[in-house]
Structure 1
Amino acid sequence: MYAPARDNEITGFVGYLDQQLDHLRAALYGLTEEQARLTPCRSVLSVGGVLKHIAHSLPAAAARLRGESVDRVFDEAGFAEYMGSFALTDDETAAGLIERFDADRAAFIAAARGCDPDGDSMELPAPWAGILDSRPIKNRYYLGHLLEEFARHAGHADIIREQIDGQSVPGLVLSLSGAPANDFFTPYRAESGTLLA
């Protein structure tokens, strides 16, 4: 949890971004590979698919925060790649995804920590929102956008996980951190051989 503090702007953004990434990762704690692919709600999303989608975005997000040029092309191949980022393929594993996510998360957090919120950047086209051109922005806008995106998908992962076995992601985060039981929380104990156990 990003605890209340009198931090500066970038430290606050980084704290909240990392908290949401932590929640996304924790949603897999104690699941089997098969459970990571389950789609128990009316959508096509699985916990593994949600984490894959965010993991897919982290390298480009880090590059943008470092001031590097990044393109987003939505031709047929680009659209297929984007849509494919929401589900694990037959040759991917959730365990392998976690390893990739952890490495990309560290690079992303370092880039976010080193960026100037008032620095200039370009927001890429977002055809799903009717925005077909790049637009000038401040990094502050992009950091806020990423926070909104990560939080929305962390919520998706939380709902999906609760549908699988009733576990809530905040409780899983506390369990992974080794927090002791209290009136509000009973630690979850993952079975040996499951993800993150």
Structure 2
Amino acid sequence: MTWRAPDVDRRDEPFIADERAMLQGWLDNHRDTLRLKCAGLTAEQLRTRSVEPSGLTLLGLVRHMADVERWWFRHHAAGLDLPDMYDYSVDPDADLNDIADADPAEALATLTAEIEAADLAVADLPLEHTFPHTRRDGGTREISLRWVYVHMIEEYARHNGHADLIRERIDGATGS
């Protein structure tokens, strides 16, 4: 029997809510959308590249977003000291690129676990919570948890666009 990604029920974003619930609702909707793009696909299909010369795959996106969840919510916003999920010493895009031997079931389970851990890590922090972040140029700036929510919504939205195109290439499925 061929392994297939599990089906996903996508939560709707709220239409009327306070700011935190609105941000969480949109983030959850985008999280579910990425998993929905992977639903019903085989391991081989999840490794299908978007278009040459790009190496972008659905499996790579799942691994990337698990790492990004950990990085912004748990490591930065909550201040937890966590190890890297992937070996970035050789390839700064190892999460996206090192998929030949990656287990899709494990990657999807890791994404789900990181989402749950991220939500738990910031559940008691106000949106106004700030933390220092070192920029690529070595400078430091203060960032708020509110910024992290907005950035993560943007990050998922951008990558869900990629996921939609990859899924269409795989089996013609579009939308939703």
1:33 matched to 2:39: no
Indicate which of 68, 81, 87 corresponds to 1:57. Answer: 68
Instruction: Return the offset for 1:67.
Output: 4.2
Between structure 1 and structure 2, the one with the greater Rg is: 1
Name the counterpart of 1:187: none
Instruction: Give the whole-Å Cα distance in 1 for the aligned partners of 2:131 and 2:14.
Output: 29
Name the counterpart of 1:145: 151
From the superposition, tell whether residues 19 and 88 of structure 1 become closer, same or farther in structure 2 (CA, over 3 Å): farther
The residue type paired with residue 159 of structure 2 is H
Instruction: Give the whole-Å Cα distance in 2 for the aligned partners of 1:61 and 1:115.
Output: 14
Unaligned 5+ runs, structure 1? 171-197
Instruction: Give the whole-Å Cα distance in 1 for the aligned partners of 2:97 and 2:173.
Output: 21
Alignment root-mean-square deviation, CA: 2.4
Q: Are the aligned partners of 1:52 and 1:97 in contact in 2 as well (CA < 8 Å)?
A: yes
- 1:49-88 equivalences in 2 (<5 Å): 49-63=60-74, 64-68=76-80, 78=88, 80=90, 82-88=92-98
Q: Which protein has greater RCO, CA pairs closer than 8 Å, 6+ apart?
A: 1
Count of residues paired in the alignment: 162
Name the counterpart of 2:8: none
Unaligned 5+ runs, structure 2? 1-10
Instruction: Return the offset for 1:133.
Output: 2.5
Instruction: Give the whole-Å Cα distance in 1 for the aligned partners of 2:122 and 2:24.
Output: 6
Q: Are the aligned partners of 2:34 and 2:163 in contact in 1 as well (CA < 8 Å)?
A: yes
The residue type paired with residue 65 of structure 1 is A
Instruction: Return the offset for 1:112.
Output: 4.3
Instruction: Return the offset for 1:104.
Output: 1.0
Deviation track 1:124-162 (CA, whole Å, cap 9, x = no partner) reads 42x4xxx44331122212221121111111111111111
Instruction: Give the whole-Å Cα distance in 1 for the aligned partners of 2:105 and 2:82.
Output: 28
Q: Secondary structure at the match of 1:114?
A: coil
